[in-house]
Chain A
Amino acid sequence: KAGVTQTPRYLIKTRGQQVTLSCSPISGHRSVSWYQQTPGQGLQFLFEYFSETQRNKGNFPGRFSGRQFSNSRSEMNVSTLELGDSALYLCASSFSGTGDTGELFFGEGSRLTVL
Protein backbone atom coordinates (compact mmCIF):
# COMPACT_ATOMS: atom_id res chain seq x y z
CA LYS A 1 0.00 0.00 0.00
CA ALA A 2 1.57 3.28 -1.10
CA GLY A 3 2.18 5.85 1.60
CA VAL A 4 1.46 9.56 1.65
CA THR A 5 3.24 11.25 -1.25
CA GLN A 6 4.29 14.88 -1.17
CA THR A 7 5.67 16.90 -4.04
CA PRO A 8 7.96 18.64 -4.50
CA ARG A 9 10.35 17.39 -1.83
CA TYR A 10 12.55 20.47 -1.93
CA LEU A 11 12.05 23.94 -3.30
CA ILE A 12 13.60 27.37 -3.06
CA LYS A 13 11.61 30.56 -3.47
CA THR A 14 12.24 34.24 -2.91
CA ARG A 15 10.32 36.63 -0.70
CA GLY A 16 7.04 37.78 -2.17
CA GLN A 17 6.57 34.74 -4.40
CA GLN A 18 3.92 32.12 -3.87
CA VAL A 19 4.20 28.36 -3.64
CA THR A 20 1.90 25.39 -4.08
CA LEU A 21 2.59 22.06 -2.41
CA SER A 22 0.83 18.83 -3.28
CA CYS A 23 -0.15 15.81 -1.23
CA SER A 24 -1.57 12.45 -2.31
CA PRO A 25 -3.02 10.57 0.67
CA ILE A 26 -3.06 6.85 1.20
CA SER A 27 -5.71 5.23 -0.97
CA GLY A 28 -9.04 5.24 0.84
CA HIS A 29 -8.07 7.97 3.28
CA ARG A 30 -10.48 10.87 3.22
CA SER A 31 -8.87 13.27 5.67
CA VAL A 32 -5.77 15.28 4.80
CA SER A 33 -4.03 17.52 7.33
CA TRP A 34 -1.11 19.89 6.89
CA TYR A 35 1.53 20.74 9.46
CA GLN A 36 4.46 23.15 9.48
CA GLN A 37 7.68 22.16 11.21
CA THR A 38 10.28 24.78 12.10
CA PRO A 39 13.19 24.65 14.56
CA GLY A 40 11.70 27.46 16.63
CA GLN A 41 8.00 26.57 16.71
CA GLY A 42 8.10 22.81 16.27
CA LEU A 43 5.22 21.03 14.57
CA GLN A 44 2.17 23.25 14.14
CA PHE A 45 -1.22 22.39 12.71
CA LEU A 46 -2.20 24.35 9.61
CA PHE A 47 -5.53 22.90 8.48
CA GLU A 48 -7.45 19.71 7.84
CA TYR A 49 -9.61 18.83 4.85
CA PHE A 50 -12.27 16.16 4.70
CA SER A 51 -14.50 15.51 1.71
CA GLU A 52 -13.25 18.65 -0.05
CA THR A 53 -14.19 20.86 2.94
CA GLN A 54 -11.90 22.51 5.42
CA ARG A 55 -12.85 20.93 8.71
CA ASN A 56 -10.34 22.50 11.09
CA LYS A 57 -7.95 25.41 10.87
CA GLY A 58 -4.89 26.33 12.88
CA ASN A 59 -3.65 29.76 13.86
CA PHE A 60 -1.93 30.83 10.65
CA PRO A 61 -2.48 33.98 8.57
CA GLY A 62 -4.69 33.99 5.51
CA ARG A 63 -1.63 33.73 3.26
CA PHE A 64 -1.79 30.02 4.00
CA SER A 65 -4.61 28.26 2.20
CA GLY A 66 -5.47 24.83 0.98
CA ARG A 67 -7.96 22.74 -0.87
CA GLN A 68 -8.91 19.14 -1.38
CA PHE A 69 -10.06 17.53 -4.58
CA SER A 70 -12.70 14.86 -5.10
CA ASN A 71 -10.01 12.14 -5.19
CA SER A 72 -8.85 13.32 -1.71
CA ARG A 73 -5.60 14.77 -3.07
CA SER A 74 -4.80 18.07 -1.43
CA GLU A 75 -2.79 21.17 -2.17
CA MET A 76 -1.67 23.96 0.07
CA ASN A 77 -0.67 27.39 -1.10
CA VAL A 78 1.38 30.09 0.58
CA SER A 79 1.22 33.52 -0.99
CA THR A 80 3.52 36.49 -0.52
CA LEU A 81 6.25 34.35 0.98
CA GLU A 82 8.21 35.62 3.98
CA LEU A 83 11.58 34.43 5.26
CA GLY A 84 9.82 32.92 8.27
CA ASP A 85 7.85 30.59 6.01
CA SER A 86 10.99 28.52 5.49
CA ALA A 87 10.02 25.18 6.98
CA LEU A 88 9.26 21.54 6.41
CA TYR A 89 5.61 21.19 5.40
CA LEU A 90 4.16 17.84 6.32
CA CYS A 91 0.99 16.30 4.99
CA ALA A 92 -0.82 13.58 6.89
CA SER A 93 -3.79 11.45 5.99
CA SER A 94 -6.25 9.29 7.86
CA PHE A 95 -9.28 7.22 6.97
CA SER A 96 -11.43 9.37 9.24
CA GLY A 97 -14.37 7.15 9.90
CA THR A 98 -16.32 7.84 13.07
CA GLY A 99 -14.18 9.02 15.97
CA ASP A 100 -10.96 10.58 14.76
CA THR A 101 -8.24 9.76 17.23
CA GLY A 102 -5.26 11.57 15.74
CA GLU A 103 -3.60 8.49 14.31
CA LEU A 104 -2.17 10.06 11.21
CA PHE A 105 0.05 8.79 8.44
CA PHE A 106 2.62 11.40 7.50
CA GLY A 107 4.45 11.98 4.26
CA GLU A 108 8.15 12.81 4.13
CA GLY A 109 7.44 16.50 3.75
CA SER A 110 8.22 19.34 1.39
CA ARG A 111 11.14 21.46 2.50
CA LEU A 112 10.63 25.09 1.52
CA THR A 113 13.46 27.60 1.68
CA VAL A 114 12.60 31.27 1.24
CA LEU A 115 15.49 33.56 0.30
Chain B
Amino acid sequence: DQQVKQNSPSLSVQEGRISILNCDYTNSMFDYFLWYKKYPAEGPTFLISISSIKDKNEDGRFTVFLNKSAKHLSLHIVPSQPGDSAVYFCAASPNNAGNMLTFGGGTRLMVKP
Protein backbone atom coordinates (compact mmCIF):
# COMPACT_ATOMS: atom_id res chain seq x y z
CA ASP B 1 0.00 0.00 0.00
CA GLN B 2 1.82 3.07 -1.30
CA GLN B 3 0.95 6.02 0.90
CA VAL B 4 2.91 8.47 -1.26
CA LYS B 5 2.78 8.12 -5.03
CA GLN B 6 4.55 9.81 -7.86
CA ASN B 7 2.75 8.59 -10.94
CA SER B 8 5.19 9.95 -13.51
CA PRO B 9 8.47 8.03 -13.48
CA SER B 10 10.07 10.53 -15.83
CA LEU B 11 9.62 14.03 -17.21
CA SER B 12 11.46 15.81 -20.00
CA VAL B 13 11.43 19.61 -20.22
CA GLN B 14 13.17 22.22 -22.34
CA GLU B 15 15.60 24.57 -20.61
CA GLY B 16 13.89 27.77 -19.53
CA ARG B 17 10.43 26.23 -19.39
CA ILE B 18 8.47 25.20 -16.31
CA SER B 19 8.85 21.75 -14.77
CA ILE B 20 5.88 20.44 -12.80
CA LEU B 21 6.31 17.34 -10.70
CA ASN B 22 3.29 15.80 -9.02
CA CYS B 23 2.72 13.72 -5.92
CA ASP B 24 -0.36 12.17 -4.31
CA TYR B 25 -0.75 10.83 -0.79
CA THR B 26 -3.37 8.86 1.08
CA ASN B 27 -2.54 9.21 4.78
CA SER B 28 -4.33 12.14 6.38
CA MET B 29 -1.91 11.99 9.33
CA PHE B 30 0.88 13.47 7.25
CA ASP B 31 1.82 16.90 8.54
CA TYR B 32 4.87 17.91 6.54
CA PHE B 33 5.57 17.39 2.89
CA LEU B 34 9.01 17.64 1.37
CA TRP B 35 10.83 17.37 -1.90
CA TYR B 36 14.27 15.88 -2.16
CA LYS B 37 16.56 15.85 -5.17
CA LYS B 38 18.97 13.01 -5.88
CA TYR B 39 21.90 12.89 -8.26
CA PRO B 40 23.50 9.54 -9.18
CA ALA B 41 25.90 8.17 -6.57
CA GLU B 42 24.83 10.79 -4.03
CA GLY B 43 22.36 10.78 -1.17
CA PRO B 44 19.11 12.75 -1.49
CA THR B 45 19.34 16.48 -0.83
CA PHE B 46 16.53 18.44 0.79
CA LEU B 47 14.98 20.93 -1.61
CA ILE B 48 11.85 22.49 -0.16
CA SER B 49 9.06 21.66 2.26
CA ILE B 50 5.57 22.72 3.18
CA SER B 51 3.54 22.39 6.33
CA SER B 52 -0.02 21.12 6.12
CA ILE B 53 -1.28 24.49 7.37
CA LYS B 54 -0.05 26.20 4.21
CA ASP B 55 -0.96 25.79 0.57
CA LYS B 56 2.14 27.30 -1.02
CA ASN B 57 5.80 27.72 -0.23
CA GLU B 58 8.30 29.41 -2.49
CA ASP B 59 12.09 29.37 -2.50
CA GLY B 60 13.74 31.00 -5.48
CA ARG B 61 12.95 29.00 -8.61
CA PHE B 62 11.16 26.31 -6.60
CA THR B 63 7.54 26.46 -5.44
CA VAL B 64 5.59 23.71 -3.74
CA PHE B 65 1.79 23.71 -3.79
CA LEU B 66 -0.34 21.66 -1.42
CA ASN B 67 -3.99 20.77 -2.01
CA LYS B 68 -5.09 19.02 1.17
CA SER B 69 -8.60 18.26 0.03
CA ALA B 70 -7.23 16.43 -3.01
CA LYS B 71 -4.26 15.01 -1.05
CA HIS B 72 -2.02 16.30 -3.81
CA LEU B 73 1.15 18.33 -3.96
CA SER B 74 3.26 19.58 -6.78
CA LEU B 75 6.70 21.07 -7.27
CA HIS B 76 7.16 23.81 -9.84
CA ILE B 77 10.61 24.72 -11.12
CA VAL B 78 10.78 27.96 -13.09
CA PRO B 79 12.85 28.41 -15.15
CA SER B 80 14.22 24.89 -15.50
CA GLN B 81 17.97 24.52 -15.93
CA PRO B 82 20.05 21.57 -17.16
CA GLY B 83 21.57 21.28 -13.67
CA ASP B 84 18.09 20.49 -12.37
CA SER B 85 18.25 17.12 -14.12
CA ALA B 86 17.98 14.59 -11.30
CA VAL B 87 15.53 12.27 -9.60
CA TYR B 88 13.01 14.12 -7.45
CA PHE B 89 11.40 12.41 -4.49
CA CYS B 90 8.28 13.56 -2.77
CA ALA B 91 8.16 12.69 0.94
CA ALA B 92 5.75 13.09 3.82
CA SER B 93 6.02 12.83 7.57
CA PRO B 94 3.37 12.43 10.28
CA ASN B 95 2.72 15.05 12.91
CA ASN B 96 4.23 13.05 15.74
CA ALA B 97 7.32 11.63 14.01
CA GLY B 98 8.76 14.33 11.84
CA ASN B 99 11.86 12.46 10.77
CA MET B 100 10.01 9.30 9.78
CA LEU B 101 9.62 10.02 6.09
CA THR B 102 7.49 8.10 3.63
CA PHE B 103 8.87 8.57 0.14
CA GLY B 104 7.28 8.38 -3.26
CA GLY B 105 8.92 6.36 -6.00
CA GLY B 106 10.63 9.33 -7.58
CA THR B 107 10.39 11.20 -10.88
CA ARG B 108 13.42 11.49 -13.13
CA LEU B 109 13.56 15.02 -14.53
CA MET B 110 15.58 15.69 -17.67
CA VAL B 111 16.07 19.30 -18.66
CA LYS B 112 17.27 19.59 -22.24
CA PRO B 113 19.51 22.52 -23.26
Contacts and interface: CB of A to CB of B under 8 A. Distances in A.
B64 to A, nearest CB: 13
Contact of B34 (A103, A107, A109): A103
A89 B59 CA distance: 30
Contacts of B42: 108
- Which of under 10, 10 to 19, 20 to 34, or 35 or more describes the interface residues of A? 20 to 34
Given A102-B91, A102-B93, A90 B44 contact: yes
Nearest to A9: B41
A58 interface: yes
Interface stretch (B10-18, B21-29, B69-77, B98-106): B98-106
Contacts, number: 72
A48 interface: yes
Nearest to B41: A108
B98 A100 contact: yes
B32 interface: yes
Interface in A94-108: 94, 96, 99-108
Interface of B: 32, 34, 36, 41-46, 49, 51, 89, 91-93, 97-106
Interface of A: 4, 31, 33, 35, 42-45, 48, 55-56, 58, 90, 92, 94, 96, 99-109
